[in-house]
Each structure stands twice: as C-alpha cells, then as structure tokens.
Structure 1
Amino acid sequence: MASITLGGNPATTVGELPNSGNKAPGFTLTKSDLSNSSLEDYKGSKVVLNIFPSVDTGTCAKSIREFNKEAAGLENTKVLCISKDLPFAQARFCGAEGIENVEMLSDYKTGQFGKDYGVEFADSAFETLHSRAVVVLDKEGTVKYTEQVSETADEPNYQAALEALNNA
C-alpha cells in the first residue's frame, strides 16, 4: 500500500507499483472505440503507462498533453494514458485537444488494472479511481521504471520516464 496525498490530505492505494525487473501484469482495457486492448497488443514496443485519476482534472490533462508532445518523437514507443474515465470522455478530450500521439485506455469495466498495478485509491474522495503514476516497460514487457507520484496534484517526472525509455 502506497501512502500518498490528495490535495495535501493523506490517502493510500490498494497496493504497490510492480517492481523494476519484473514482468508487467497483463491487462485488458477499453479503447475509445469500445474495443479491447491488452498488454500483449504492445509486445515488441517500448511502453509508457501514464496512469491518472481523470482527464477532467488540470494535472491529468497536462500529463496527457506533455506525453503526447514527447511521444511524437519517440521511435517504437507507445504511450498509453490510463484512467477509469469512460471512453467517451477520453475521446472527447483528445478530440478537443488535438491529441494524436498517445492511446487512451479505460479501466471502467472491471477496475482490475488499478488493483493489479496497485494504483487504485483505497480511500479518500478519489476512492476507486487511479492514483497518478508512470510505469515504463521495455519491448518484452519488463518493468524498467516506476513512479508513484506522492501528491496527486503534482505532475510526474517526465524527464525520468523519458530517460528510462532510452535505457529500455
């Protein structure tokens, strides 16, 4: 269980992020067109999991924009932006913002991703939503970098994630 804060107030997650060097837990999430997407779909590519509570918050929106900008220049890399937002909200956001270089995925159906990756809030006003975190995977799906952002309102360390990609 990770101890983090939400607006300065204590909060916890249901678990911990996967350990570096381990295989990432598999997942099945929902795309904007309501089709399924699994971790297996990205095998052979480096992957950034940009995990956050909702596209409708300022910091989450900023992280999507920042990773979208950075992803444009990354070779053989997929940036997956994951929340429990409905796919319709994710598609609306991307359309309004001109987001084209990241893939939006939703954990709204089962919430299993949030549990398996240890990012689901166990308490607080955001209970059952995802905390802000980044996980970088190499081409074989091995975890190379993780960051559980300690204050949910703060942005992730983009530079550290990008450096981990270069070394993946």
Structure 2
Amino acid sequence: MIHETVKIFPGAKLIGKVKIGQNSSIWYNAVLRGDIEEIKVGKFSNVQDNCVVHASKNHPILIDDYVSVGHAAVLHGCTIHANCIIGMNSTILNQVEIGKNSIVGAGAVVTEGKKFPARSLILGIPAKQVRELKEEEIKSIKDNALRYVELAKKSDYHGQSKKNCRRT
C-alpha cells in the first residue's frame, strides 16, 4: 500500500512488497527492492536520490516515521527506528538496528548484526557509536524530514512526466 500523499520521483523503482506511509517521498533513481521480503517506509520519511533499499531473505526492512535516508545510501535487511538520519553514501547491512533519534554519519559502514541504542551518533568504518545526541540534534532530525515533505510538495518533477516514475 502506497499512501496517496506519497511522492515518487522520475527514475525511482519500487519492486515487490513495498509499503509507504503518508507524506513520504522516494527521490530520483532510488530503488526499493521488496521482491524477497517486505519494505515498509513510515510517515514523513524520505529515501533520497540513488539509494538502494533491498530486503533479503528473512530480513525485511523497516524505515520508520521521520527518517531521512541520504543520497546514495545502501540499506540491506535492516531496521531504522523513528526520527533518524542515515547519512549520504552510508551502508547498513542485514540485521542492523538503528535506535530511535539517531544519526548515522555520511560514508559510515554499519556491519551485519550491529544494534545501536536510541540517541546514537554513529560514525566510521566499521561504524561505532561515538556519543549520545543532544536535544537540539534530535529536533533537527525531525526538522530535516519535514523540510523534505515540503520540498517534495513544491517539486514539479523538473519538467519530467509523472509517468516516468515506475512500480514494477
């Protein structure tokens, strides 16, 4: 089920069992592959340009509410709890769990099976929790997700036809 308020941009591909909640957006050339297990994207979340989100056998994907998945990130069989930012070009592997109100830094590689508590700042290769987030940082995560809701509403697909957005 894809909520009627969801915006899917040209070149994005939704394959198989993909559910997306209200006011979320899937940006240019993102690929969500729910052909093996289900992918669920919550409300007010965004999966940005060139991301790959792939559920694998026995490892569905949950991207909860108010989550921003940065440009070119790769998510594979993982759980991202509410109000998180997944940084650009980061990689999150099977059975990873990112706790609520957390940030995964750009370029981080979160190796298989890692579990991080709420309010974590997660950085590096391999990724590690470096500290707990401050209140103002947590607020900025939700603000970022809401900015993407507004940006998606204002977008006109840059002259491209909406029919270029595909679900297979």
State TM-score, norm by structure 1. Answer: 0.22
More helix by share: 1
More strand by share: 2
* Bigger RCO of structures 1 and 2 (CA < 8 A, at least 6 apart): 1
